[in-house]
Each structure stands twice: as C-alpha cells, then as structure tokens.
Amino acid sequence: MERDNQFIGQSGAFLDAVERASRAAPMSRPVLVIGERGTGKELIAERLHRLSTRWDEPLVTMNCAALPETLIEAELFGHEAGAFTGATKARAGRFEEADKGTLFLDELGTLSMGAQERLLRAVEYGEVTRIGASRPIRVDVRIVAATNDDLPALAESGEFRADLLDRLSFEVITLPPLRVRDGDVGVLAEYFARRMAAELDWHNWPGFAPHVMTSLEEYAWPGNVRELRNVVERAVYRWDDPESPIAHAQFDPFESPWKPKAPPHRPNNSVAVHQPAGTGIPQPATSAASNSFDQIDDLRAAVDAHERTIVEHSLGKHRWNQRQTAKALGLSYDQLRHAIKKHGLMEEGDA
C-alpha cells in the first residue's frame, strides 16, 4: 500500500463511498471493496482498518493474483515442515499473522476453488489448519477483500463459491471510476502537480495551461487515479520552465515515433484509447465520439474548435517554439502564425 496517498476528492459519488467505508469500519464484519484498477481499493481497505477497534493490530495484505495457485493456500494458511517439497521448516500463514487484526485480500476473484473452500471454513469457524497439520488454529481476523471482477456473475457461472460470496458481502463498497467523479480531476491534478513541484524544489506552482486542463478533464482515465497521477507528475517533471504554466501533458508514456510494432502473430488488444492522427490528444475509444457528431449543428465552428485544440496542443508540446510547431504540423511559419492569430492564441504565446 502507498502510505503517502490521501483521499482527495469532492464529488458526491466519491464522498458517498468514503462515508460508507467510515460507517462500516467499526464493525468486525467482512467487507468487499469493488472497483476498477486505480480507484483506490487499497486506501479504502486501510481506512477500514485504521478506523476500526483493531487499528493498533496488524494489517496484513495479500495479493491473490501475485502467487501461483500451488502456493496460495500455503501463504494463506501456513504449512508444517515437510508438508511439501521445499517446506524445510514450519511457517505461519497470513491468517495467523493477521490474528486480532485485519487481512486484506486483493484480487479475490483469482482464488482457486480449493483456496475458496478453505477460506470459507476460516470465515465461518474462525479456524485455519496449516498444510500438513492435523489440528486447526483459532484466529480472530477481520477480512477485507477487493476485486474488479463481477463476483455475483462468477458465482452464477460456478467460478466463485456462492456461499463464500454470501459470507464476505456483509457490506459492499463500490468505488466510482474517475470519469464520473465530477470536479475531482482538477482537484487531484493540482494536488499531484503541486507535490511534484515541491519535490523538484520549484519556488512557485505555475499551474496548467487552459488547454492542458481541458484535456485532463475530458480524458476517460481507464487507469483512474493512478493513471492521472502518472500523467500529471510526468508532465511537471518534464517541464523545463517553472515560471510558465504546464503546456504539455503526454497521456501515453509509450508514445514515440520509434515505438516497436507488435508482430503479426501477437494480437494487440490495447484499444482503450484512440488518438486522431497528428493531434496527440487521447480520446476515449467508445461510440460516444461518433454519437457526438449527431449534435453538431455548425460544421465550421466545430472544425475551427478542433483546429484550435490541435494548434494549442502542439504549441505546448514544443514549448511555444513556433518554427518547431509549424514543422511538426506540416505548416509554413506564416500559416502557423495565421492560425495563432485566427484562434486568439497570440497573447498566450507571447506571454
């Protein structure tokens, strides 16, 4: 868990999820935390522990997807010496380590059926049995589990035990993705940017150029807060002029004219983001873009707005160097100057 992270946000959907976690924290009951990657499931788990009566006891974390299936049960429940090849000495499992405290099981949906069965027994009876042992051990553990899977659907298809799901879902906290958290992108971007500026020993925070903030707010953020943090911190540290607003942000860190292409036999499924040729401005790869065309009632104004966005973005990318920008856009210097004047970018560029 990233201990330096904080809950930042002001949207109603976000605050409702945090409030639900705060209310559930004092209860020594299992809690399921559901959400897309990067939405802060680990932070909610930590909040549930810190606000509970177990706050001064261990908070033990296990990523169920990080271990091979053959080792998950040994990690969870421990093993005796000689229980299997390589078990040279006895070892306590995560349940024993978390006794009197909280056990956070991340990526719960990846647990094997065998591990699910033993986990169900531990939840029901408060007992775990080390692999190779004949007697169970009593434990007092509060379980918080997280996943981005649809557990009810997995249970219906037989891929997840329905009785275990019933036991773990005393409370279910579903975290909203960043794209629906109205107003939070700007707040989070400012927080991460100011922190990075302080790390770089900048005396003042110059802020973001308007077109960059607009791009941040309009982006779909498939990686949610974690992705936003990376984009913002990368934009700040790459910016060479601490006295002027950040005028360029690269959303895809792998974007490069020398990016190797995937071989024909390896399917490329990374289609979450679509970039119109030459713009460098990511847009969500959904039908929403095509649907938005139906709302255009002034073609010339729409084209002008798109042209302005492209020119402004490219100017920021090239530090307002007009000759480099013109070359990148395939324009003459005079053509670029005309576009700058046409779209009212002269004052910002001269500043």
Confidence of residue 291 (pLDDT cuts 50, 70, 90): low
Res 266 pLDDT > 90: no
Q: CA–CA separation, 111 vs 159, rounded Å?
A: 10
The answer as to whether 170 is a domain residue is yes
DSSP assignment of 165-230? HHHH-SEEEEPPPGGGSTTHHHHHHHHHHHHHHHHTT-SS---B-HHHHHHHHHS--TTHHHHHHH
Confidence of residue 292 (pLDDT cuts 50, 70, 90): low
Say if CB 114 and CB 155 are below 8 A apart.
no
CA 95 from chain centre, in angstroms, equals 27
pLDDT of residue 169: 95
pLDDT of residue 319: 67
Res 204 pLDDT > 90: yes
The answer as to whether 202 is a domain residue is no
Q: How far is CA 295 from CA 132, 276, 302, 309, in A?
A: 67, 19, 10, 19
Res 127 pLDDT > 70: yes
pLDDT of residue 256: 82
pLDDT of residue 272: 39
The answer as to whether 350 is a domain residue is no
- Provide CB contacts within 8 A for 43, sequence distance 6+: 1, 5, 7
pLDDT averaged over the chain? Answer: 86
Tell me, yes or no, if the pTM score tops 0.85.
no
Mean per-residue pLDDT, 2-13: 75
Domain count, the chain: 1
pLDDT of residue 351: 44
Res 263 pLDDT > 90: no
Mean per-residue pLDDT, 311-325: 77
Mean per-residue pLDDT, 178-201: 96
Confidence of residue 278 (pLDDT cuts 50, 70, 90): very low
Q: CA–CA separation, 174 vs 183, rounded Å?
A: 19
Please give the DSSP secondary-structure letter assigned to residue 137. Answer: E
Residue 64 belongs to domain spanning: 12-176
Res 313 pLDDT > 50: yes
The answer as to whether 48 is a domain residue is yes
DSSP assignment of 71-123? HHHHHHH-B-TTSSTT--S-B--HHHHTTTSEEEEESGGG--HHHHHHHHHHH
The answer as to whether 258 is a domain residue is no
Phi, psi of 199 (to 5 degrees): -65, -30
Mean per-residue pLDDT, 4-10: 76
Q: Which two tokens stand for residue 174?
A: 């579903």
Confidence of residue 5 (pLDDT cuts 50, 70, 90): low
Count of CB atoms within 10 A of residue 205's CB? 17
Say if CB 31 and CB 167 are below 8 A apart.
no
Mean per-residue pLDDT, 287-295: 56
- Top-confidence residue, 118 or 234: 234
Q: How far is CA 286 from CA 102, 132, 227, 253, in A?
A: 40, 52, 19, 21
Res 215 pLDDT > 60: yes
CATH of the domain at 166: 3.40.50.300
- Top-confidence residue, 301 or 189: 189
Q: CA–CA separation, 255 vs 24, rounded Å?
A: 43
The answer as to whether 339 is a domain residue is no
Q: Is beta strand 127-128 parallel, antiparallel or unpaired with respect to 137-138?
A: antiparallel
Q: Of 205-214, 256-265, 315-324, which has the strongest mean pLDDT?
A: 205-214
pLDDT of residue 280: 45
The answer as to whether 75 is a domain residue is yes
Least confident of 63-67, 125-129, 166-170, 296-300: 296-300
Please give the DSSP secondary-structure letter assigned to residue 277. Answer: T
Count of CB atoms within 10 A of residue 219's CB? 21
pLDDT in tens, 69-101: 778 888 899 888 877 777 778 889 899 999 999
